[in-house]
Structure 1
């Protein structure tokens, strides 16, 4: 199994019924890595530079570009406990992280397909970048269903 020292040793954990009380982005019933993914919105009145400084004060890493948005990481003893996906106010309503989670909350069949995919990939020893890459097609499919439902153009990549 590929190792990634930034992630906890445990790959997937069962759904925790307390997650929705802590994070509105939680998807009820979905197995997950023990690292919370959060969608974070920068207020329209704030620049990314100001936000970077605030994340540092709050204990998050300096944000880095990850394609169409920025990400920051919360570490505990050098291990990721949180990933913050940062979006501007203009990006917020179309943010793929939010569209994906919302669709899975509203469509249990796709949520269960995603759970099976994740379990299968970990069972085959995929993790880190390989695990993420192997999920990309499914994620794009679901994001495009959500985008089409909202009258937004489809994405060709994530």
Structure 2
């Protein structure tokens, strides 16, 4: 999957998905690159939701809505995927309410929304890496240094210590 130029529909798709899923969670937000107007992205609507306990997630209700569980190596997180008839993909990351305020995905999104110069730096890097490497591990690794820098800045602005952006 390659990155696409910013699409005005992404915000509405994220908002609609959040509205549909909201009754199942304590909180839910559109995160990731498609949540940042003006940022090129893989055409995937990333959502992050919180629950008190991961064992309480209503997987049956999610499956009814088209979300399928996917195994992940990410600790303290459940991951679900959905693909619509028009090939719109959704990734749902479910985390605990305890970790919600300090989730890097949310902090980075908020930083990019309020720092257009950083958004533009990130956009340029994404385009450059996609042109050079195409999708895959080299593209992802190439973004790591800048994502870490921007996430560290977002965390520092909230008085939070830096943490690695990629979960072990």
The answer to whether the superposition gives a TM-score over 0.5 is yes
TM-score with structure 1 length normalisation? 0.79
1:12 corresponding residue in structure 2: 3
1:67 matched to 2:67? The reply is no
Partner SS, residue 142 of structure 1? helix
Task: Give the CA RMSD over aligned residues.
Answer: 2.3
Give CA deviations for 1:28-78 in whole Å, capped at 9, x if unaligned: 111111111122222x2x54353444332321121433434332211357x
**Equivalent pair of 1:73/1:80 in contact (CA under 8 Å):** no
In the aligned structure 2, how far is the partner of 1:21 from the partner of 1:76?
15
Q: Flag structure 1 segments of 5+ consecutive residues without an equivalent.
A: 1-6
**Equivalent pair of 1:14/1:31 in contact (CA under 8 Å):** yes
1:21 matched to 2:20? The reply is no
In the aligned structure 1, how far is the partner of 2:65 from the partner of 2:47?
15
- Aligned 1:1-158 pairs, distance under 5 A: 7=1, 11-23=2-14, 25=30, 26-42=35-51, 44=52, 46-48=53-55, 50-68=57-75, 69-76=77-84, 81-158=89-166
Q: Flag structure 2 segments of 5+ consecutive residues without an equivalent.
A: 16-29
Q: Which structure has more helix as a fraction of its residues?
A: 2
In the aligned structure 1, how far is the partner of 2:70 from the partner of 2:56?
10
